[in-house]
Amino acid sequence: MGVRISACQLAVPPGTEDNSQLAARIGKTADWILLSTGVEHRRIADHDDDPIELAAKVAQQVIEEVGPPDLLIYAGAIPRQTLPDSSAHVLGRLGLSGVPGFSVNAACLSFAVAVRSACAVLESDPAVNRVLICCAEFASRGRNFTQPESAALLGDGAAAAILESCDGECGLKHWSMQTFPEGADLTEVRGGGLRHPFTEPSGTEHLFEMDGPALLRFTVPRMRRFLNSFLKDAGLSPQDIDLIVPHQPSGRALEVLELFGFPNSRVVNIIRDYGNCVAASLPMALATAMQEGRINRGDLILLTGTAAGVSLAAGVFQW
């Protein structure tokens, strides 16, 4: 038995914010934003929009394409509320009473970790033949406009995918993940938990904060070693990978992949149009690649990226 990704779709709020609209709020020019982040415009949800509604909308699209799931995994970094879990809210919107659901929160790598989890369930539980993974991230609500780079990076979006059992060699062929907690303070939202609960006077604790230059210096050498080791253990070279579907952290971070041996022509890059949509970024990139016909049967697809923590992950999926 194998596992295939039989459907993947993205959805975004209708509102668009381009760099000229944002520039005055952060004290920079539109050209500076594009050069520094690689983002030209981003989607912004209205204040009253509910992320669960957008997640359910895109989930319904893949269900109509493939069929109802036996399990739902909500793979997001930003929950709708503390309790109950976001998966329960999506299941309710979809009318899927009795279907099990839970969340995977690995920050920006949530989708990749959810794929790993879904494959493990599909391979071990005969009662589960189809897994729905979805999330919606409204990252713009946590922007700190005193930090121009991070405020310019973030956008809102959603994605959903269905994985199901199948005959053949398709599936996750190799997986690895590492976390380097010494870099955990380089990307943070400190509030919302017990350390800084929402009952405290609101300050920057509840906003996204990032030291971009330090994060890049910290991550790049570790990511190089990680990917080299990953490919060696998998018995692969960069040339064996047909398409790289990464998390979309920034334009500069995506350009670094070429230094690791992956040409830009084989990297799915949607940062310019959507910005960094946190955990939704990677599945949004996958959905884009599928819609554009960039993935063929038998291709080796590298799902990879970095996340706050600092975590690194990679998985080779045979289509």
What's the total number of domains in the chain? 2
* Beta bridge partner(s), residue 163: 5, 131
Q: Has residue 203 got a pLDDT over 80?
A: no
The pLDDT assigned to 270 comes to 98
Q: Indicate whether 242 and 284 sit together in one domain.
A: yes
Q: How sure is the predictor about 190, in pLDDT bands with cuts at 50, 70 and 90?
A: confident
Q: Indicate whether 161 and 183 sit together in one domain.
A: no
State which of 168, 198, 222 marks the end of a domain: 168
Single out the residue of 288, 266, 282 nearest to residue 314, CA to CA: 282
Q: How sure is the predictor about 193, in pLDDT bands with cuts at 50, 70 and 90?
A: confident
Q: Indicate whether 73 and 48 sit together in one domain.
A: yes
Q: Has residue 202 got a pLDDT over 90?
A: no
Peptide bond into 84 cis (omega under 30): yes
**Average model confidence (pLDDT) across the chain:** 96
CATH of the domain at 39: 3.40.47.10
The pLDDT assigned to 31 comes to 98
- Taking only the tens place, the pLDDT of each residue in 39-75 is 999 999 999 999 999 999 999 999 999 999 999 999 9
State which of 130, 153, 168 marks the end of a domain: 168
Q: Indicate whether 240 and 161 sit together in one domain.
A: no
- Taking only the tens place, the pLDDT of each residue in 132-154 is 999 999 999 999 999 999 999 99
Containing domain of residue 62, as a range? 2-168
Instruction: Return the higher-pLDDT residue of 198 and 97.
Output: 97
The pLDDT assigned to 100 comes to 98
pLDDT, average across residues 78-95: 96
The pLDDT assigned to 274 comes to 98
Token readout for 301 is 């697809």
Work out the percent of the chain whose per-residue pLDDT is above 90. Answer: 93
Q: Has residue 116 got a pLDDT over 80?
A: yes
The pLDDT assigned to 194 comes to 74
State which of 131, 153, 168 marks the end of a domain: 168
The pLDDT assigned to 201 comes to 62
Q: Indicate whether 162 and 179 sit together in one domain.
A: no
Q: Indicate whether 21 and 56 sit together in one domain.
A: yes
The pLDDT assigned to 200 comes to 65
The pLDDT assigned to 204 comes to 84
Q: Has residue 17 got a pLDDT over 90?
A: yes
Q: Indicate whether 101 and 209 sit together in one domain.
A: no
Q: Indicate whether 67 and 125 sit together in one domain.
A: yes
